[in-house]
Structure 1
């Protein structure tokens, strides 16, 4: 692999570039971002070697790491003119709409739907670092619709980053991510808002905040410009997750109102099982 092109030079796109540059010798990386400040930052940080609005000749991989509601249009336009030997890979956090939007494209075999399960609460090129993706899970969807030889290019890149490949259907991906990722961010955003609302009456409340609050609300620092499109694209699955979460919160509140502390204890003990599951998973 000699040449990759990255559209969207934020945390994921930037980290993918830095990680591959660390793992592979002689790799050339071009890129583009609508944010001119991000372009200059990516150049100065060595994320890209040069700016290019178009995909250079002989590019092996084009990575699309832009806000999820822009990906379908970008991928479709790329596929209109992509050389037969170039693979387009998207890093969107939702997959069903993206996959369906390109399902009938004449060059569908030049596209691979992917989602790296990695990230932080920070955004932009300055947040990128080489080991963000190392050892992380890379979910791939509809690999059977991607040309086998083209797919191998992506696999070589992911293997260079020591990523663990998982194959899922687009709907299954979006539904499960609504529960284990998107709901987590919503909870963090709304916890942050609830405490900020309380601060209007008690300016010193954050003096009482410990590490538990900090770890729970950490995701509230995430970029709304990235997460609002995710909520839009995955609305139905997120509503399913939210409805279940709200039902559990309401039940917890009702037990507390009615002094049903044994029921509260049972609910919390049941929730303790998630710790064992996560420890086993890790």
Structure 2
């Protein structure tokens, strides 16, 4: 099985590690706009060969693990160049615009819209890790538009990598993911910004920062090159979630000003219910 991975960073590199472990016959071909990344990937053993778009006609599977704006631009070209029995899937965090872009493509049946909800705050080939996807949810959109035998190939890959599968339409996916992923990244970035602007002496930040601050601001270390296009593509849903979030912050501030700490206690106690909802999620 010849697997071409476009974008050899955390996501693409982690796919490479796990696919090589799960499929003995798999050969991994890397495509990346950065030759330095490809050389690192070769050195780390993530890929077997450096490749290019000109060789996509050799692929049995193409995994697209690049920023969503670039995926929208190049996915039609990828589909133009593959053979009829090749599966293409992506790992993008938004699905609506992507699915719309290739909806009328002659090889739409070769594409599986996927979103494995997994990752870390790190980037680049050196960030790739084994078992990144084990136990994680992989959301599949418009599965009925993918050829059945190619669905089976994709599901075999996802199964061997240990993913849980959920099916969702692109619109619902983009709306829900704005709450559980995109908003948390914005919150983390803005918390980091607030602290940096307030605490001009960085030593004070690091001397006083505890595990709570470190865990909350962790996502602020994520790649702006990846997250800016996500916010752009999911703009309307992100704005809606921000409006609700800001309203809750304003309400909390109002209670503080009114010295209404009984109500603050109640709100926090009610929110503790999230422990039960998230039980078992790492």
Look up the match of 1:176.
176
Q: Distance in 2 between matches of 1:149 and 1:276?
A: 39
Which stretch of the first structure deviates more once superposed, 247-256 or 209-218? 209-218
* 1:146 has 2:146 as partner: yes
* 1:231 has 2:193 as partner: no
Q: TM-score, normalising length from structure 1? A: 0.96
Look up the match of 1:10.
9
Return 5+ residue gaps in structure 1 as ranges.
none
Aligned residues, how many? 281
Q: Distance in 1 between matches of 2:57 and 2:81?
A: 12
CA deviations 1:42-95 (Å, max 9, x no partner) are 111111111111344442210011111111221111112321000111111100
Match of 1:66, SS state, is: coil
Q: What is the 5 A alignment of 1:89-168?
A: 89-168=89-168
Tell me, yes or no, if the aligned pair for 1:178 and 1:238 is still in contact at 8 Å.
yes
Look up the match of 2:71.
71
Q: Distance in 1 between matches of 2:56 and 2:169?
A: 31
Q: Distance in 2 between matches of 1:224 and 1:202?
A: 22
CA deviations 1:90-110 (Å, max 9, x no partner) are 111100000011111111101
CA RMSD for the aligned pairs?
A: 1.4
- Shift of the alpha carbon at 1:208? 1.5
Q: Distance in 1 between matches of 2:11 and 2:259?
A: 47
Tell me, yes or no, if the aligned pair for 1:75 and 1:88 is still in contact at 8 Å.
no
Q: Distance in 2 between matches of 1:97 and 1:185?
A: 21
Look up the match of 1:31.
30
- Shift of the alpha carbon at 1:205? 3.7
Which stretch of the first structure deviates more once superposed, 228-237 or 54-63? 54-63
Look up the match of 1:247.
247
- Shift of the alpha carbon at 1:167? 0.6
Q: Distance in 1 between matches of 2:184 and 2:71?
A: 23
